[in-house]
């Protein structure tokens, strides 16, 4: 069976996800603080970006921004709040609602992680010709935009998994 471009990209993306999804700060022996998770940084980034667009950032808005279920967003936001990266504030217009804002520490961590990640990418691409780097950036951006425009059909994925599991019965 010939390897398709899609198969090669799938393997590369899987490898990259494992690198980027690791805890951002490992737990040291005797350190009771939990490591900073990529999801914490994603929530801080989402809350910051949404805050520039809408007056009150809610868990629902974070769910839409991150393209996750509201229950998942609620867990992720709660985790970021408990870690001290996001603050939950009472809505000035509706006391029953809470809105979210990045904490100063959350913004510092987001900035530090972004700088570190970009420096790492610059190191990886350092020996690439400038034209290759620019083309890679354009193509990767185009790929990300295509994924956003045509997200994976999770319902169909559930069916494929169920079929695979049933084959062994």
Burial of 105 (0-12, 13-18, 19+ CB in 10 A): middle
pLDDT at 168: 74
Cα 133 from chain centre: 23
Rounded to two decimals, what is the model's pTM? 0.79
Task: Tell me the average pLDDT of the chain.
Answer: 88
Domains of the chain, by residue range, sit at 34-127, 128-169
**E strands, 81-137, where?**
86-90, 98-102
pLDDT at 29: 52
Element (H, E) at 12: helix 5-21
Enumerate residue ranges in the chain where pLDDT < 70.
Answer: 1-2, 18-34
pLDDT at 38: 86
- CATH number for 34-127 (one of 3.40.50.1580, 1.10.10.10, 3.40.50.11290, 3.90.380.10): it is 1.10.10.10
């Amino acid at each position: 069976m010939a390897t398709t471009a899609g198969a090669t990209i799938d393997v590369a993306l899987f490898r990259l996800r494992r690198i980027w999804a690791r805890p951002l700060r490992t737990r040291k022996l005797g350190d009771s603080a939990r490591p900073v998770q990529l999801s914490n940084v994603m929530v801080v980034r989402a809350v910051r970006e949404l805050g520039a667009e809408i007056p009150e950032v809610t868990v629902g808005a974070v769910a839409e921004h991150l393209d996750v279920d509201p229950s998942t967003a609620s867990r992720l936001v709660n985790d970021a709040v408990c870690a001290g990266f996001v603050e939950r504030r009472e809505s000035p217009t509706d006391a029953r609602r809470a809105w979210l804002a990045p904490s100063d520490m959350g913004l510092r961590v987001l900035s530090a992680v972004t700088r570190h990640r970009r420096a790492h990418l610059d190191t990886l691409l350092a020996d690439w010709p400038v034209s290759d780097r620019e083309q890679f950036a354009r193509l990767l951006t185009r790929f990300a935009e295509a994924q956003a425009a045509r997200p994976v059909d999770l319902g169909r994925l559930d069916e494929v998994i169920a079929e695979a599991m049933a084959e062994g019965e």
